[in-house]
Amino acid sequence: MAERYYVVREDLLPEGILKTEQAKELLRRGDAATVHDAAERVGLSRSAFYKYKDGVYLLEQTSRESIATLSMDLEHRSGVLSKMLGLLAVSEGNVLTISQSIPLQGLANVVVSLDTSFMKDTLLELLDKLRKIDGVKRVIVVGRS
């Protein structure tokens, strides 16, 4: 059976689901260091937290999520990958995955999946900045979700 999703008004949700989201928010903000601490602070058992944690999301949180997959050809020399990753960090892109091929003929292909939800730059601005890095030979978007 396929998964089904519902949009439910907050006041109709069971307390355990609400407290799970509250605990997740404490963890996201860094106000709680561990699941145990977050669950304890909101008055929730850890078992209830683990039961609901992967199925509870705020609607505005899911609508903000945006993942872009970029493919880049980088020159095989010291510092190029570091500069590219530094630019992603400065732009507040969150790297989800990164894969680099073995360099052939002086170039390595790097594929990065990036959460662009909170980036300062638009994706087009980011691509333009990446292309200006010395040693970045090609940047394309290969996927978007």
Last residue of a domain, one of 40, 63, 86: 63
Same domain flag for 71 and 135: yes
Structure confidence by residue, pLDDT tens digits, 44-86:
999 999 999 878 877 655 544 588 899 999 999 999 999 999 9
- Let me know if residue 41 belongs to a domain: yes
Domain containing 53: what range? 10-63
Same domain flag for 51 and 17: yes
Same domain flag for 85 and 28: no
User: What CATH number does residue 79 fall under?
Assistant: 3.30.70.260
Structure confidence by residue, pLDDT tens digits, 86-96:
999 999 999 99
Residues counted in the chain: 145
What is the DSSP secondary structure assignment for residue 130, as one 8-state letter?
A: H
Same domain flag for 84 and 48: no
Same domain flag for 55 and 98: no
Closest listed residue to residue 75, CA positions, set 109, 50, 49, 52 = 109
- Which helix (H) or strand (E) segment holds residue 107: the answer is strand 107-115
Query: DSSP string spanning 32-67?
Result: -SSHHHHHHHHT--HHHHHHHTTT---HHHHHH--E
pTM of the model: 0.57
